[in-house]
Amino acid sequence: MKIKKIGLLLGPLAFIATQFFTNPLISQKADAVLGVALWMIIWWLTETVNIAVTALLPLVLFPLLKIMPINEVGANYGSSIIFLFFGGFVLALALEKVNLHRRIALNIIKFTGTTPKRVILGFMIATAFMSMWISNTASTVVMLPIAISVIKMLIDDADGFTKKDQNFALSVMLGIAFSANAGGIATVIGTPPNSVLIGLLENEYQIEISFLKWMVLGFPFSMLMLSLCYIVLTYWMFPCKNIPFAASSDLIHQELKKLGPASKEEKQVLLIFGLMVVFWICRSLINSIFPNLGLSDTIISIGGAILLFAVPSNWKTKKPILVWLDTEKLAWGILLLFGGGLALAKGMSATGIVDIVTQQISEGNFNIIITASLLIALMLFMTELMSNVALVAVLAPVVAGIAMGLEIPMLHLLIPVTMASSCAFMLPMATPPNAIVFASGYVKVGQMARAGFILNCLAVVLLILYFSQIIPLVFP
């Protein structure tokens, strides 16, 4: 609480201080943007007010400081990428409303098998798959009660809660959290930082990354991180061999039985979900066949959302799958956060801050691999303490300037740095999935930190390899 009070005053004071330099650091307008950025960073770090409210500051300050007119600032809050994510959020609402996400998760666990390690793998694959399409938080919340039921069977068995049982509980809980974080990297709509980056590239540099092209990079990375998480947890940190586990199969069957046969609503949502994914993946092919169509990922996303509100789940009552009241659960704040990040990036670009960074780097004779490694590690470990969306919103324009200064394609640097923001495995406060499993009581901070630190380091190495070897093949 004390930190919040300090942050409440420190943010505006830091902004005011930047406005009274005798000699401007860059220029009057650029200093004003730096002041706004500093104010936003302090409020984001201290969480003095909700992070979405902090994202509204450019909408007030940029016009008053004559950085940009309000219509130009406001346009960032209505960017097409925000509507792409809105459609993704609506899809997630529909999956959750009809309980389809739970059915998918249970069937994945059932398919992977019921030996201890296979159960852990099943939970991780199911969580990662769901995180590709719905929020990481929702994915974790769905899996947690199922995992706790399995753990309670071990507590109540004949030999009690042994060391091996505890290792299993830790592996399941941390596996759910870590796979929720890693799974979101796979798709554009899987986690907000991906969309912040794509919005910046489209708004500022007219570079477009399609849904499919992101998946070509994101999905393999997500699966590699998932594999590393599984190996580190079950073979290294918390081995759990030779646990009698016959009852777990019964539990999964019981949970599926409770759901009953797939409802008409579930089938409708699954059909619309499938159509959206097919259109996202085949968009480039469709546009090449119909060159005047101009189909975009955002159009597909909004089209799918409209169908979910328009298609009746029951043709007699004419009641649709989703009604507007359902959007009370939608993460509107994240959409505002996108807008604030894009507005801040626009301000940095318009006032020459990005150009200054570019010039300094180009004159500094920096080693490319070392610079990239430092940026990836900086982003990854900073996101343990700060919102990854806010961090990407602030740092992505600067990283773009660094890439231009190093005379390398900015995608080569921006993509791994953005992916790094979703690889926070160490601390409970780093991501909602980490916090949720920590709150279960089965995980201690030290246990999460030890396993998480190893995975953070492995993620840095993997992202450096991505930067130097993989991304140049996809974006030459």
What's the rounded mean pLDDT across residues 411-435? 86
Query: Quick check: is 398 in a domain?
Result: no
pLDDT band for position 247 (50/70/90)? Answer: low
List, in order, residues 6 or more apart from 367 with CB less than 8 Å away.
none
pLDDT band for position 154 (50/70/90)? Answer: low
pLDDT band for position 157 (50/70/90)? Answer: low
Does pLDDT of 178 surpass 70?
yes
Query: Quick check: is 262 in a domain?
Result: yes
Residue pair 348/398 in contact by the 8 Å Cβ criterion: yes
Residue 159 or 59, more confident: 59
Average pLDDT, the chain: 82
Cα–Cα nearest to 334, from 59, 75, 83: 83
pLDDT reported for residue 461: 93
pLDDT reported for residue 418: 92
Q: What angle do CA 427, 429, 432 make, to 5 degrees?
A: 110
Q: What is the pTM of this model?
A: 0.77
How many independent structural domains does the chain possess? 1
447-472 pLDDT tens trace: 888 888 999 999 999 999 999 888 98
72-85 pLDDT tens trace: 888 888 888 788 87
Domain that holds residue 267: 81-329
Residue 459 or 350, more confident: 459
99-128 pLDDT tens trace: 787 787 777 777 766 677 888 888 888 889
Query: Quick check: is 122 in a domain?
Result: yes
Query: Quick check: is 447 in a domain?
Result: no
Query: Quick check: is 421 in a domain?
Result: no
Does pLDDT of 363 surpass 80?
no
What's the rounded mean pLDDT across residues 440-446? 80
pLDDT reported for residue 225: 92
What's the rounded mean pLDDT across residues 286-312? 87
317-334 pLDDT tens trace: 678 888 888 888 887 887
Query: Quick check: is 213 in a domain?
Result: yes
Does pLDDT of 246 surpass 60?
no
pLDDT band for position 224 (50/70/90)? Answer: very high
Query: Quick check: is 311 in a domain?
Result: yes
CB atoms within 10 A of CB 260: 9
Does pLDDT of 167 surpass 90?
no
Residue pair 426/380 in contact by the 8 Å Cβ criterion: no
Query: Quick check: is 307 in a domain?
Result: yes
Does pLDDT of 278 surpass 90?
no
What's the rounded mean pLDDT across residues 149-164? 63
What's the rounded mean pLDDT across residues 222-243? 85
What's the rounded mean pLDDT across residues 29-48? 83
pLDDT reported for residue 315: 66
In order, the DSSP letters of 366-433 are --HHHHHHHHHHHHHHHTTTS-HHHHHHHHHHHHHHHHHHTTS-HHHHHHHHHHHTT---S-TTTSHH
pLDDT reported for residue 207: 86
Does pLDDT of 144 surpass 60?
yes
Residue pair 29/67 in contact by the 8 Å Cβ criterion: yes
What's the rounded mean pLDDT across residues 143-150? 77
SS3 assignment, position 320: strand
